[in-house]
């Protein structure tokens, strides 16, 4: 039986321990080395404990080498402690008059900051925060929201299908249906969370974050929607920022509108960022479609409401002047330190 593996193992431990003892600057460093190699669960202690598992002819030889190494490390540690005490410089002595070392504080990820800011805004307006499943049924993700079977959004190029009737949710809008199906108006909820779509470039990622909002009651009008979203936009960006509601189409709202803000880069003059239009799209909204209300057995002659969807990444990119959405997910400390 070859003794080479045992020799190699002990030589490696000897080399490592010697290097760490030599580099130790304080008694605390030395104590750490002692614990790592000679402590109850240290490398040498475990090696000695496991000698019983070696072949019989190798046990005496391995035991002697290990005990010799143990003695050598102990002597090196004692010598190093003596050296440090004699040196008595700033590296080993403590000056209690010096200011303590401050730990760097972490911060919320920019996406989390935007999500939190929006959630707090709506919570103060009395909106309840709801969370739901990220794996969603076709019914909640599409059918109940007035997406017909042949709608382009159902295409596998746009949606991650798990099975014929299960998808990774493409928006948090299914929480509209889940909320309305289990309660009667008035309803005032927001649904933040991750959503998934088959898209990836400098402005899109396969996974991103959305906050969906819903308000249902008697006498809710488009003016209520405009008022609340205007407050939201000015809270996030600037109280004097210009915005507009531009007619659009969504299957689950009618009428529908995109909300645009004055380009944060060129201030409406026109640039590459806004395609020289002076405006940037930031969210979609509209009055809840009567078909959606009928799907949850609401009386459409009595109740109406509005819904909207905000993309957290989109808001963060504009707010913090970020040109590539993928930077949010690189875990680059230099990038994240900016926030």
Express each pLDDT in 265-288 by its tens digit: 888 788 877 788 888 888 999 999
The 10s digit of each residue's pLDDT in 14-43 is: 888 888 888 888 888 888 888 888 888 888
Q: What percent of the chain has pLDDT over 90?
A: 43
Distance CA 15, CA 101 (A): 32
**Measured CA distances, 68 to 14, 41, 43, 203, 268 (Å):** 11, 18, 14, 63, 78
Q: How far is CA 162 from the centre of its chain?
A: 23
Check pLDDT > 70 for residue 94: no
Percentage of residues in the chain with pLDDT exceeding 70? 96
Q: Which residue has the higher pLDDT, 103 or 117?
A: 117
Strand 187-196 and strand 128-129: pairing?
parallel
**Can you point out the beta strands (E) in the chain?**
128-129, 135-137, 161-163, 166-168, 187-196, 207-217, 243-250, 253-262, 279-288, 304-311
Assessment of whether the complete model's pTM goes beyond 0.75: no
State both tokens at 260.
Answer: 């645009």
In this predicted structure, what is the pLDDT of residue 1?
43
């Amino acid at each position: 039986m070859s003794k080479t593996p045992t020799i190699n193992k002990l030589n490696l431990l000897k080399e490592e321990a010697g290097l760490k003892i030599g580099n130790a600057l304080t008694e605390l460093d030395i104590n750490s080395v002692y614990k790592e190699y000679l402590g109850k669960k240290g490398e040498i202690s475990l090696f000695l404990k496991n000698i019983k598992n070696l072949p019989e002819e190798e046990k005496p030889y391995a035991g002697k080498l290990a005990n010799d190494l143990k003695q050598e490390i102990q002597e090196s540690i004692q010598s190093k402690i003596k050296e440090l005490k004699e040196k008595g410089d700033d590296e080993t002595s403590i000056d209690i008059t010096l200011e303590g070392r401050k730990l760097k504080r972490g911060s919320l990820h920019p996406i989390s900051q935007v999500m939190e800011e929006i959630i707090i805004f709506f919570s103060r307006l009395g909106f309840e925060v709801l969370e739901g499943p990220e794996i969603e049924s076709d019914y909640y993700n599409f059918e109940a929201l007035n997406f017909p079977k042949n709608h382009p959004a159902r295409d596998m190029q746009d949606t991650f299908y798990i099975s014929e009737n299960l998808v990774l949710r493409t928006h948090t809008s299914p929480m509209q249906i889940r909320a309305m199906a289990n309660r009667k108006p008035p309803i005032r909820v927001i649904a933040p969370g991750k959503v998934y779509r088959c898209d990836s470039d400098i402005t899109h990622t396969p996974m991103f974050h959305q906050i969906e909002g819903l308000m249902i009651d008697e006498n809710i009008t488009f003016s209520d929607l405009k008022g609340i979203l205007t407050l939201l936009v000015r809270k996030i960006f600037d109280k004097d920022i210009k915005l507009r509601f531009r007619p659009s189409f969504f299957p689950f709202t009618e009428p529908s509108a995109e909300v645009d803000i004055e380009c944060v880069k060129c201030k409406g003059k026109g640039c590459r960022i806004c395609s020289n239009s002076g405006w940037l799209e930031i969210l979609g909204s509209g009055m809840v479609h009567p078909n959606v209300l009928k799907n949850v057995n609401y009386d459409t002659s009595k109740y109406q409401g509005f819904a909207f969807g905000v993309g957290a990444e989109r808001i963060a990119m504009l707010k913090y002047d970020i040109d590539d959405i993928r930077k949010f997910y690189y875990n680059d400390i230099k990038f994240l330190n900016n926030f």
